[in-house]
Amino acid sequence: MRIATWNVNSIKARLSTVLEVLGAIECDVVCLQELKCETDGFPYMELEELGWTCAVHGQKSYNGVAILSKYPLDDVQKGLSTMEDDQSRYIEALVMAETPIRVSAIYLPNGNPAPGVKYDYKLEWMEALEGHARQLLKQEEAFVLCGDYNVIPGINDSWDETVWAEDALALPETRQAFRRLRNLGLTDVFDMCDGRAHQYTFWDYQGGAFPKDHGIRIDHLLCSPQAADRLSGVEIYRKARELEKPSDHVPVIGIFQD
């Protein structure tokens, strides 16, 4: 089973790009972030015609997350169980494959400028995600937390650590919160299956960042021990950034044995 995470940076503005990439990566499940559309405005028809089942938690103009699946979806939950939040940043569902697996689409707050109320919200959200992950782990089932975490985990995950040192994505408190989440017993799919330095998932539109490879790695898949037992590979689909109207993020794909 191929499970991807991808921040599409407006699904309506980039629908043709999204459809092209979905065809190319040949995934069974794709978790999308930053839809920038309301739930009712999601392009269900175009995706369902291609065989996708869609679970959507949208929001006008901002945020928004969705799960696309080639299998039926069950037990769909919108929002974290551990936090009341009026922003659409989390959706979770059970993928009813022959061997079921639970997935979530996460769009973690950016947090800039930091310090400030936006950074406080980011840390609050990360704490709530940690609490929700604790609850999921108690169920002892296979699950994958897929998303744009807006976290640069370490110094080898950006093209220049000094450029990002004061950014909310790389502040010590951010990295500590991300480590606490992983240290619950979750496996970082990229670290386990690849782990090379300077492999990026995001390049800014400004300053020729992509041709210069001035990127950062902020899109992650974290999985439970039961899912990690099935893990066999990972891919970062850089070709998505080369398209005519790309997102500034590219898909990250985890490969799991059925």
Catalytic residue among 57, 132, 220, 249: 249
119 noted as active-site residue: no
Please report, in range form, the residues annotated as the binding site for Mg(2+): 7, 34, 148, 150, 248-249
User: What rounded mean pLDDT belongs to the chain?
Assistant: 98
* pLDDT at site 212: 98
Q: 117-138 and 172-182 are packed helices; what angle lies between their axes, rounded to 10 degrees?
A: 10
Please report, in range form, the residues annotated as the binding site: 7, 34, 148, 150, 248-249
CA distances from 131 to 51, 125, 126, 138, 140 (A): 34, 10, 9, 11, 15
Q: How many helices (H) and strands (E) does the chain have?
A: 8, 14
* pLDDT at site 258: 82
Catalytic residue among 57, 90, 119, 148: 148
* pLDDT at site 70: 98
Q: What is the pLDDT of residues 112-139, one digit of tens each?
A: 999 999 999 999 999 999 999 999 999 9
148 noted as active-site residue: yes
Q: In this structure, which amino acid lies at residue 245? A: K
Cβ-contact 158, 151 below 8 angstroms: no
Catalytic residue among 90, 107, 119, 149: 107
Cβ-contact 5, 146 below 8 angstroms: yes
54-71: average pLDDT: 98
SS percent in the chain: helix, strand, coil, step 5: 30, 25, 45
Q: What is the pLDDT of residues 15-31, one digit of tens each?
A: 999 999 999 999 999 99
DSSP single-letter state for residue 238: G
β 29-33/2-7 pair status: parallel
CA distances from 27 to 70, 126, 201, 203 (A): 8, 28, 17, 23
Q: What is the pLDDT of residues 185-227, one digit of tens each?
A: 999 999 999 999 999 999 999 999 999 999 999 999 999 999 9
Centre a 10 Å sphere on the Cβ of residue 64 and count the other Cβ atoms it contains. 29
Q: Of 163, 78, 180, give the one whose Cα is nearest residue 123.
A: 180
Give percent of the chain above pLDDT 70. 100
* pLDDT at site 105: 99
SS3 (DSSP) at 247: coil
Domains of the chain by range and CATH? 2-256 (3.60.10.10)
15-36 burial: b if 16+ Cβ within 10 Å, else e: eebbebbbeebebbbbbbbbbb
Q: Which helix (H) or strand (E) holds 18?
A: helix 15-25
* pLDDT at site 122: 98
249 noted as active-site residue: yes
Which pTM was predicted? 0.98
Distance from chain centroid for Cα 209: 21
